[in-house]
Structure 1
Amino acid sequence: MSHYIDVIIPLPLERLFAYRVTAAEADFLEPGMRVAVPFGKSKIYTGIVHHIHQSPPLNYEVKDIELIVDELPTVTKDQLKFWEWIASYYVCSLGQVMRAALPKSLLLESETIILKNPDTEVNDDFLDDKQFLIMEALLHRPALKVKEVMDILDRKSVLPILKKMLEQEWIILQEEVYSTYKPKTVKYIFLNKRYKDEEQLKNLLDDMTRAPKQRDTVMSLFMLQTGNKLVTSKLLQDRAGVSRAIIKALIDKNIFIEEEQAIDRVLDEKEQGSELFELQPAQQEALNEIREQFAAGKTTLLHGVTSSGKTEIYVRLIQEQLELGNQVLYLLPEIALTTQLISRLKHYFKHQVLVYHSRYNLNERLEVWNHVIENKEPYVIVGARSAILLPFQNVKLIIVDEEHETSFKQFDPDPRYHARDAAVVLGHMKKADVLLGSATPSLESYYNTTLGKYGLVELKERYGKVLMPEIQIIDIKDKHKRKKMKGHFSDSLIEQMQEAFKNNNQVILFQNRRGYAPILECNTCGNAPQCPNCDVSLTFHQYKKQLRCHYCGYHTIVPPECPSCSSTSLDTKGFGTQQIEEEFKELFPDLKIARMDLDTTRGKNSIEKIIEQIDTGEVHCLVGTQMLTKGLDFRNVSLVGVLSADTMLNFPDFRAHERCFHLLTQVSGRAGRTAERGKVLIQSYNPEHQILQQVSTYDYGAMFKDQLEDRYQFKYPPYQRLIRLTFKNRDYNTTLQAGQWFVNALNQIEHGVEVLGPEFPAVTRVRNLYQVHVMVKMGKQHHPNTIKDYIRKVKRSFESIKGFNSVRCNVDVDCY
């Protein structure tokens, strides 16, 4: 009887695909193993075995697999169930979840390989220059990839040349499957075994009296190797004070032996962690309450004010689980946050801390994946949202820190999951405790505590009973009228900054816009340069003298004159972090400022460097965007200045006021985190705004009550669920027609939900694609799975319509 496997392929296709296997392969294979399978005419993909069966598919011809990649499953059975939940809840395919979850190194790649045809004799006289270069390269190398041919010919268009050579049968093509993973290796130096004998070693050193440097190097290696320590070439060079040439000479003489060994990229050497600090009474009480809620089987929200010592509570809970031999997942919204937290966790747990996020390279991420699935030792895994997709074996505690942050939501591409919500589901599947922590909880999480779905634990005082910072709202409309502004700094802010610097304290300045200015405008005709690919103005970046689009990355030099009227009178409107940095240097020329935004933190270690500059006092002031607000702990910051609160308040989004409260409260919490009370100055044209008043008094309860009333009135979460459908196409009318067709099709089904749109968003065109939104609102009386099934059904019909072939349709569940 034939045997088959159903395979998940990393493509946006809803179904699984069956492949034929032998009886022996069927016995060997398990769900979660990787197999290389043919797909389409010539491609080979890595698939994950979903299940093994004996039922042949009816509507297509079954192919055989190419090869079995794994000896043991790469994905656990529980993980496959979790993937299925994500695909079902967020209306996407299992293949898309697989592509998001697996490190690229585990997805074998299929690339076209060019080989010299062994059956054809090629006469050089018939070759043109480009063809000759390719054939010459194939004489010295067994095979070439297409991208290597591009490099050899120094041109992108090589396919026509290769096509002609194929027609002449001079070359042949082969699809080669290869893995991108390479273990990291280090070369270690050992003393030849024959010199382990003391007598032999003494004779060797006596013979080397005329080569003192070599003699010293041998002695240094002997000393370093006591205690069976592995010695690298660099360590030996540094200790002996010699060059690599001396070591090479000793290797050539067979006195030293050099061995290459694979090492772990992500684990430190095993050490004993430090003792934990004693908790303060309020923290101990909160910890006891959390344990009670966990015992009752509840997801728990820890609502603790900024600097209340939430991390110390997390550390206690982590320690308990590690001692029981369990895994712990610690999710953070921002990579910037991991830097400080990792050093704190490693202080306690040393080598048991693993880190997983996109700034780590592919090989580092693969090694974390392997450590988690092998489960040889309990680890705490610290990571951004993608860490939720790791193959946990026995995770028993999931911590979601700063749970209110929008960074936990994946907006593009699929799966558009929310890591906080997924963590709650994963915890339920794995019977793990889930703890959500925040100084400013999201409305949805706090609302769940009022319904009794989540447990609530509160920490109302700062660690060490330090007072909350004093918040002052500055009316900059009045300051401008009385000419008390210098650039974008009010006299009050400058005065407080001078006071802070005089007391050897540091200052944080917050402006939630990067670049120098959002608009460069002609004073004569009012023209502002636009992005050719998107419907937005280009942002002026001072340091590179560029205009840049923050949506698609397009950039151009700043024009010397207006392209519309040739006037040279060009001026900037609005301001970003670069302009604040420049104005600070004019106000305080002797002091140093650093900037933390997307432009300055692109490198792997760039965030660490900025944090180190602040911690060591090298920098007096830090200016930045919302990166600054996310739980960073700067001990010497006494003053926070918010340059303009109005842009956040006026953003066209139903969560704008809630998010403004979150951001301002969080950035305020960076001030006065030690003994001295901090100060916060918030500049605004509308100082009487209700949200600003609530921020100034730390009144989360009032904000929660007001926003909840608005949400109820206008049918927004947490009272209604939202699903947003986005249609994208190069043609304006086609995009609109696609949206309208979908709305009409949805409205033909008796579902009773509210379907709004189609509507163009504020930025209509991004990367030359017009986009239109359709919003589906579901009340508590509707079953979400039924509505999602309707949407899937309509989407399948939509994709079969010839006129909409080129239209992309994305489904975003809980699109906020």
Structure 2
Amino acid sequence: MYFIDVILPIPIKQAFTYSVNAHEAHFLKPGHRVAVPFGKSKIYTAIVYKVHQTPPQTYETKEIDQILDEYPLVTQTQLKHWQWIADYYLCSIGEVMRAALPGAFLLESETIIRLQTERPASEAALSEQEEMILEALENRQQLHLNDVRSILDRKQVLGVIQALLEKNRIALVETLYEQYIPKMVSYLQLAPQYKEESALTALLDEMQRAPKQREVLMQLFMLSARQSGAVKRPELLAEVAGAAAPLRSLIDKGIVLEEKRQTDRKAQWESDTADSKGLSEAQERAYKQIRQQFTEKSVCLLHGVTSSGKTEVYVKLIEEQLAHGKQVLYMLPEIALTTQLISRLQEYFGDRVGVYHSRYSVHERVEVWNQLLRQDQRAQLVVGARSTVFLPFQDLGLVIVDEEHEHSFKQYNPAPRYHGRDAAVVLASLCKAKVLLGSATPALETYQNAVSGKYGLVSLKERYGKVLLPDTQLVDLRDKNRKKRMQGHFSDSLLEAIRETLAEKKQVILFKNRRGFAPIMECMTCGSAPQCPNCDVSLTFHKAKGQLRCHYCGYASPLTKQCGACGSMTLDPKGFGTEQIQTELQELLLEARIARMDQDTTRGKHAHAKLIHGFEQGEIDILVGTQMLAKGLDFRAVGLVGVMQADSLLNFPDFRAHERSFQLLSQVAGRAGRTKDRGKVLIQAFNPEHLILQQVTTHDYDGMFKDEMEQRRQYGYPPFNRLIRFTFKHRNFETMQNGSRWFAKALEAQFNEGVLGPEIPPVGRIRNEYLSHVLLKVPVNAGIKAYKGKVGMLVRNFEAQKPFARIKLVVDVDPY
């Protein structure tokens, strides 16, 4: 007997074993997809993990349903990488599989309802809804669950289906549906007998009474001659108005032949590629130092100030790898950044650039996956967000993690809660590739690894073209308010600077890290504010939609004019977001063209690209936005950056708050003055004396690093300790509290020290579930495997406790 261990895309800790015959066992290899039965009737897509001849001891194996692939879809390196992620981040390898594979590879097991072929001897009475389902089945032969929901106009239909099953009137069938649909393009050409000019002329003469068909034929002939081959159907239809019906007639007569060919969804790069720009003296020096570091170390940090030209250094290193036939992974923290970068990379590398992120359709992502498996030239350089670490690289030579400090690389929900940067470093190690981490404001852990010698370190301290860093000034909002020099949320200094910048035909960026119009709508009579019914937060006012929205659960309600508590008509917005800034500014600067870039305005697939393109082309004078603006975007005409209120960044209950404030403010300031003219940055704050704000104005990263490291050392935070956070969720507050206290005591009994909590987070209820956190500090020099083994055992013990069975426990390694 032969057996296979498979990974199922569900959160179970161990692999499951299925039996296969000898032929299947010899064909199957780790990484193949198979369809397997699991549970009573479900069929799942599984990945073969191991082929062997050892039967399981505790259960009888089932046979697989079918083999889904001709060749393994997942590489051995990927399986090792998945296992590392599962072990390090304390999740199941099935959860890693679900995150790693495009949805189209996870075939759906869909319940189909059919009429029972054998009618029961005695028919029980049927309800009206049961009659409706049977009548539909007589007309349509089979129904899906969603069809039944539509017919009955209700969501809960399982009771009706169960009743029909018990009465033996229907049968259920589980069927696998392949989700990936290749894109097919129709190509047209003349039938062979009409390709000679004389035969075509004779045919055209015969078609005097069909002028439209004649016109289509002539146009097809000309396009075929121009392209030296078959013509795409859309191209022909674009040339001849109303050609669809005449073309169909020509195809039916056999005069025109139609052939459908599979093609990629990625748009072809049709321009010639350009040579990379020459490097400046500082860039050339950094490039050579990186190459030198790579001879000794696998990971190198490029610490380059904003607008120092790090991307051109990356391009030089990519060229080198592609010339040797190697694959390159270029990771970015935000989808917004890919829009601008892809255009730049395509100018250099043309069709060799593949793009992979969640805004692309599942079919487009499948095509990039398959191209990498085939080592296709069209995906030799892959650009994307954190999920690109799961791609099946065959010959990876270099991984570039740009803006490596960004916490957007961290996945929070669902599991696996991995960090893209750290997962990329491990992937490169498995592939024997090099890693280049780039940032103007590196994460403290990364910089510590560099200065301690674990990573290589290369500095690029001057801007490209020797442009000066922006002139950064602080505006004291306390003083401006006292002297009545404020218009709305704008100080006279900021307004004057905006007007001067626009007069010089330059652009302005305004940063506020909160979307919406106002975070609170407060009653001036009784002081109450509308609250989310599902979460412990105030509803944010969105003026454009006239809505109050919760940014945690998505709950929305229309804005009412009177207070829900006391009935008075004195609701007043408190605080402000990007929407209010845009509204105020439009009233102050009537002629200015103002746009907003936040989560509300960039929901569509190409919304980022449209905004960025409009700003680049000078169609927008002032761009108001959230932290999306702070991440590596390159706008050449920005003369001024304004930070609306910096204090909100600093006063946050997180040990990383000061580090992230410095990074965010430095990055957004770096968007100014990226050409020969020096840019200007104005930071409005109620506490301009704050040390972090002073360090931002002097671009003193080293000072911030030393101060923050001393704080981390004193209080035992990373990089001096690792953190594991346990989050407990339950609809009953007391049950949640009891569970978190039990777990905290068990941790203390196991580890003696390093346990903090349980503690209620700032937002203690989300989606009607109460939350509590317990934090475990793990010394860096401790055996992390032993720690995690004990933690895993405690988690299993907790889940086995009957009173806590319904508490959701989320384990997050390196949570911040």
Q: CA deviation at 1:81?
A: 0.6
Match of 1:338 in 2: 338
Check if 1:57 corresponds to 2:56: yes
Match of 1:17 in 2: 16
- The farther-off stretch of 760-769 and 124-133 is 124-133
| Cα distance in 1 for residues equivalent to 2:560 and 2:184 | 50
- Aligned residues of 1:36 and 1:44 also touching (Cα < 8 A): yes
Evaluate the alpha carbon distance shift between residue 219 and residue 703 of structure 1 in structure 2; reply closer, same or farther with a 3 A threshold.
same
- Aligned residues of 1:35 and 1:66 also touching (Cα < 8 A): yes
| Cα distance in 2 for residues equivalent to 1:351 and 1:753 | 55
- Aligned residues of 1:753 and 1:782 also touching (Cα < 8 A): no
| Cα distance in 2 for residues equivalent to 1:230 and 1:501 | 52
Amino acid in the other structure paired with 1:190 = Q
Amino acid in the other structure paired with 2:733 = Y
Match of 1:279 in 2: 279
Match of 2:102 in 1: 103
| Cα distance in 1 for residues equivalent to 2:617 and 2:271 | 26
Evaluate the alpha carbon distance shift between residue 267 and residue 29 of structure 1 in structure 2; reply closer, same or farther with a 3 A threshold.
farther
| Cα distance in 1 for residues equivalent to 2:175 and 2:298 | 50
Check if 1:74 corresponds to 2:73: yes
Check if 1:114 corresponds to 2:113: yes
| Cα distance in 1 for residues equivalent to 2:301 and 2:105 | 36
- Aligned residues of 2:124 and 2:167 also touching (Cα < 8 A): no
- Aligned residues of 1:509 and 1:641 also touching (Cα < 8 A): yes
Q: CA deviation at 1:349?
A: 0.9
- Tell me the SS of whatever aligns to 1:738: helix
Match of 2:549 in 1: 548
Match of 1:793 in 2: 793
Amino acid in the other structure paired with 1:467 = L
What aligned pairs does 1:136-155 form with structure 2 within 5 A after superposition? Answer: 136-155=135-154
- Aligned residues of 2:212 and 2:243 also touching (Cα < 8 A): no
- The farther-off stretch of 252-261 and 488-497 is 252-261
Amino acid in the other structure paired with 2:534 = N
| Cα distance in 2 for residues equivalent to 1:267 and 1:638 | 34
CA deviation digits over 1:550-598, x for unaligned, max 9? 0000010112211110010000110000000100110111221111101
What aligned pairs does 1:379-458 form with structure 2 within 5 A after superposition? Answer: 379-458=380-459
| Cα distance in 2 for residues equivalent to 1:65 and 1:674 | 63
Q: CA deviation at 1:196?
A: 1.0
Q: CA deviation at 1:229?
A: 4.7
Q: CA deviation at 1:680?
A: 0.7
Amino acid in the other structure paired with 1:194 = Q
Q: CA deviation at 1:230?
A: 4.3
Amino acid in the other structure paired with 1:587 = L
| Cα distance in 2 for residues equivalent to 1:504 and 1:171 | 72
What aligned pairs does 1:478-627 form with structure 2 within 5 A after superposition? Answer: 478-627=479-628
Q: CA deviation at 1:617?
A: 1.2
Evaluate the alpha carbon distance shift between residue 142 and residue 270 of structure 1 in structure 2; reply closer, same or farther with a 3 A threshold.
farther
- Aligned residues of 1:188 and 1:231 also touching (Cα < 8 A): yes
| Cα distance in 1 for residues equivalent to 2:272 and 2:525 | 69
Check if 1:351 corresponds to 2:348: no
| Cα distance in 2 for residues equivalent to 1:506 and 1:291 | 38
Evaluate the alpha carbon distance shift between residue 158 and residue 203 of structure 1 in structure 2; reply closer, same or farther with a 3 A threshold.
same
| Cα distance in 2 for residues equivalent to 1:536 and 1:359 | 29
Evaluate the alpha carbon distance shift between residue 289 and residue 188 of structure 1 in structure 2; reply closer, same or farther with a 3 A threshold.
same
State the TM-score, normalizing by the size of structure 2.
0.97
Match of 2:168 in 1: 169
- Tell me the SS of whatever aligns to 2:458: strand
Q: CA deviation at 1:422?
A: 1.0
Evaluate the alpha carbon distance shift between residue 22 and residue 722 of structure 1 in structure 2; reply closer, same or farther with a 3 A threshold.
same
- Aligned residues of 2:529 and 2:538 also touching (Cα < 8 A): yes
Q: CA deviation at 1:241?
A: 4.0
Amino acid in the other structure paired with 1:205 = L
CA deviation digits over 1:632-654, x for unaligned, max 9? 11111111111000000101110
| Cα distance in 1 for residues equivalent to 2:81 and 2:252 | 56
Q: CA deviation at 1:503?
A: 1.3
- Aligned residues of 1:354 and 1:379 also touching (Cα < 8 A): yes
Match of 1:677 in 2: 678
| Cα distance in 1 for residues equivalent to 2:8 and 2:743 | 28
| Cα distance in 1 for residues equivalent to 2:371 and 2:142 | 35
Give the count of matched residue pairs. 814
Q: CA deviation at 1:22?
A: 1.1
Match of 2:85 in 1: 86
| Cα distance in 2 for residues equivalent to 1:282 and 1:178 | 56
| Cα distance in 2 for residues equivalent to 1:72 and 1:673 | 49
CA deviation digits over 1:603-653, x for unaligned, max 9? 100101111111111111100000000001111111111100000010111
Evaluate the alpha carbon distance shift between residue 621 and residue 31 of structure 1 in structure 2; reply closer, same or farther with a 3 A threshold.
same
- Aligned residues of 1:30 and 1:73 also touching (Cα < 8 A): yes
Evaluate the alpha carbon distance shift between residue 128 and residue 756 of structure 1 in structure 2; reply closer, same or farther with a 3 A threshold.
closer
Amino acid in the other structure paired with 1:410 = Q
| Cα distance in 2 for residues equivalent to 1:186 and 1:166 | 44
Check if 1:726 corresponds to 2:701: no
- Aligned residues of 1:217 and 1:242 also touching (Cα < 8 A): no
- Tell me the SS of whatever aligns to 1:258: strand
- Tell me the SS of whatever aligns to 1:809: strand
Q: CA deviation at 1:269?
A: 5.6
Amino acid in the other structure paired with 1:601 = T
Check if 1:698 corresponds to 2:710: no
CA deviation digits over 1:168-204, x for unaligned, max 9? 2221111112221111122232222221122111112
Amino acid in the other structure paired with 1:315 = V
CA deviation digits over 1:101-152, x for unaligned, max 9? 0111111111211011122289999665533432333233332111111112
Q: CA deviation at 1:752?
A: 5.0
Amino acid in the other structure paired with 1:402 = E
| Cα distance in 2 for residues equivalent to 1:572 and 1:433 | 52
State the TM-score, normalizing by the size of structure 1.
0.97
- Tell me the SS of whatever aligns to 2:712: helix
Q: CA deviation at 1:16?
A: 0.9
CA deviation digits over 1:379-411, x for unaligned, max 9? 111010011011111111000000000000011
Q: CA deviation at 1:536?
A: 0.6
- Tell me the SS of whatever aligns to 1:717: coil
| Cα distance in 1 for residues equivalent to 2:342 and 2:159 | 52
Q: CA deviation at 1:210?
A: 4.2
| Cα distance in 2 for residues equivalent to 1:105 and 1:275 | 37
Amino acid in the other structure paired with 1:519 = I
Match of 1:376 in 2: 376
Q: CA deviation at 1:753?
A: 4.3
- The farther-off stretch of 172-181 and 122-131 is 122-131
Amino acid in the other structure paired with 1:795 = V
- Aligned residues of 1:514 and 1:625 also touching (Cα < 8 A): yes
| Cα distance in 2 for residues equivalent to 1:282 and 1:800 | 60
| Cα distance in 2 for residues equivalent to 1:212 and 1:66 | 56
Check if 1:247 corresponds to 2:247: yes
- The farther-off stretch of 38-47 and 537-546 is 38-47
CA deviation digits over 1:499-527, x for unaligned, max 9? 11111111111000001000000000000
Check if 1:41 corresponds to 2:34: no
- Aligned residues of 1:298 and 1:453 also touching (Cα < 8 A): no
Amino acid in the other structure paired with 2:493 = S
Match of 2:295 in 1: 295
Evaluate the alpha carbon distance shift between residue 38 and residue 203 of structure 1 in structure 2; reply closer, same or farther with a 3 A threshold.
same
CA deviation digits over 1:653-697, x for unaligned, max 9? 101011010111100111111121111111000111111111111
Q: CA deviation at 1:261?
A: 2.3
- Tell me the SS of whatever aligns to 1:748: helix
Q: CA deviation at 1:732?
A: 0.7
Match of 1:365 in 2: 365
Check if 1:320 corresponds to 2:311: no
Match of 1:8 in 2: 7
